[in-house]
Every structure is written in structure tokens, then in C-alpha cells.
Amino acid sequence: MPIVMSEEALAKAYWAAKKKIDAGDIPTLPLYPKQTLYRSIDPTKSYTYLPKPANGQPVSRMLADKMLSPGDGMREGVMNRFSGLPLAEGHPGVVTSASYGPPGSAPGSATRGIPAAGGLYCVLQQQALVNEAAHYSRKVPVWALANRCVLKIRLTTLMQVADLSPHNPRALRFLRELGVGTWEEMTDPKDCSVARGIGLAVAQSSFLAGLAVQTVRSSERSEEERGDNLVLYGPQGKMIPGIQVEEVYFFGKTYEPEVFPVA
């Protein structure tokens, strides 16, 4: 899992990205009502506990809605790339003594003035879901979702998100013009300093609900078909507005999942 390794790199990425975002200079992607998103969870974990109902019964909407809340923001526990605290302290090699801060500020903590942000991680295409699951489970793609749940989520309102996927030429230009990182730095498998800085800047935007970016996980398809992750920003523990769970897929030891509606 990637961690923030440099307070200074995070701060530079944050303030450079925020300046461009405040000026409206960032590529965006509209997400329309009724558009489908997907989210994979482990239904046996305490923070994503979701019991499978009896045959013919729906999943409780109250329980399903709990899966639409960011699990980070006030804490760093999940080590997400684009959301969390401005600095993941306590890890070997983390740089905490930098003096970089907001433009024009006095020397001090590099992350002074940078708010934390919670992020709900979904995908825009199903292949991204499988690629991510295969990476973490170390299983072949066809069995990557075994013993997991997939939430089929519908948008109920129009959203605009930042689009930093590499197939958007404006995204690559945006990263180059930050002067603090490239696609490779933003997707570093061990160090998410630049990615976290950019994500926290997007989270502070008044017109962006989240961030879309191509998954870095390998694909059994071509490299152009990895699929895109989507991070929707909001306070930890509070349901992201404008989305709802429509169906829940329980994957067991068979190829086909059991599908349950939500009511």
C-alpha cells in the first residue's frame, strides 16, 4: 500500500494543484444521473459488514447506505492514495522536517493549512473493479472477487469530477504544468505524496465532487482497457450525497454471483 513519504512533495502538489483548480484550469468529466458505478467490499469486515439476506429477500437499504461513507479523513488507517491525512506519520523514511508551506507563508510545517479529506473509492468500469481485486487478492481475474460483495451504485444527480486519466491529453498537460510530478510520480506504488496532495486539492474544490483516474493495476485486456477508479470526497463516516446502492452482488465459490435488490 502506498504511503505519504514526503511532506514537502505533498505540499507542493497541493498548492500547485489548488491554484490551477481555483482558476478552473483542470480537465473535468461529467457524471450523469442514472450512471452506474461499482464498489467492492469485504462483507465480513466490521467497517463493511453486510450480511447476505435469505433467498428472495432484499438487502437492507440502511445497511447498504453505510457502504457509501468514506472510511478515512479523520484517520489514516486505510492508506488510500488520493485521500486521508496530509501526512502519514510513523513510517520509516517519511520526511517530516520540510519547511514548505502555502505561497507567502512563514517557514513551518509543510502541510500547515492543508485539510484532510475522506474519499469513497469506486470504479467507472467493471474491468477496473476486477483489476483492483486481482491485485489485492493475488488471484486470477476470474476468481478475484470470490467471497466479496460488489455494490451496483446509481447516481441520482449530476456530478462533475476532475479527470486525470492518461487517455485525456489535458490531464497529462495538467500534471506537467504542476511542476511537481508526472503520471509516474502520481502513481508511484510506494509513495503517494504527489497523489495525496493533488487529491486533497480536488477535495477542497467548490465545483468538483471527486477525481477520476485510470487504475494502475495490470489488466488481462490491453493496457488501454484498465478502466478508471473514481474517488468521491466527503467527511469520514457520512454518506456521499447523490448516489444510492441499487443491487448487491455476493460472490461465493461459484463463477456467477448471487444478486439481491436493495429495499
Q: What is the C-alpha separation between 146 and 156, in angstroms, rounded?
A: 29
Q: How much is the pLDDT for 132?
A: 58
pLDDT value at 204 more than 60: yes
Q: Are strands 228-234 and 243-250 parallel, antiparallel or unpaired?
A: unpaired
- pLDDT tens string 225-237: 556 889 999 999 9
Q: How confident is the model at residue 93 (pLDDT cuts 50, 70, 90)?
A: very low
Sheet hosting strand 210-214, strand order edge to edge: 28-31, 159-163, 210-214, 228-234, 118-123, 36-41, 149-155, 243-250, 258-261
pLDDT value at 10 more than 60: yes
Residues 6+ apart with CB under 8 A from 179: 12, 16
Q: What is the C-alpha separation between 190 and 60, in angstroms, rounded?
A: 38
Average pLDDT over the chain, rounded to whole? 83
pLDDT value at 106 more than 90: no
pLDDT value at 245 more than 70: yes
Q: How much is the pLDDT for 244?
A: 96
Q: How much is the pLDDT for 72?
A: 92
Q: How much is the pLDDT for 92?
A: 43
- pLDDT tens string 24-70: 999 999 999 999 999 999 899 988 999 999 988 999 999 999 999 99
Q: How confident is the model at residue 134 (pLDDT cuts 50, 70, 90)?
A: low
Residue with cell 448487491: 248
Q: How confident is the model at residue 183 (pLDDT cuts 50, 70, 90)?
A: confident
Q: How confident is the model at residue 219 (pLDDT cuts 50, 70, 90)?
A: very low
CB 148 within 8 A of CB 133: yes
pLDDT value at 150 more than 50: yes
Residue-range domain boundaries for the chain: 7-96+115-261
Q: What is the C-alpha separation between 90 and 110, in angstroms, rounded?
A: 16
Q: How confident is the model at residue 175 (pLDDT cuts 50, 70, 90)?
A: very high
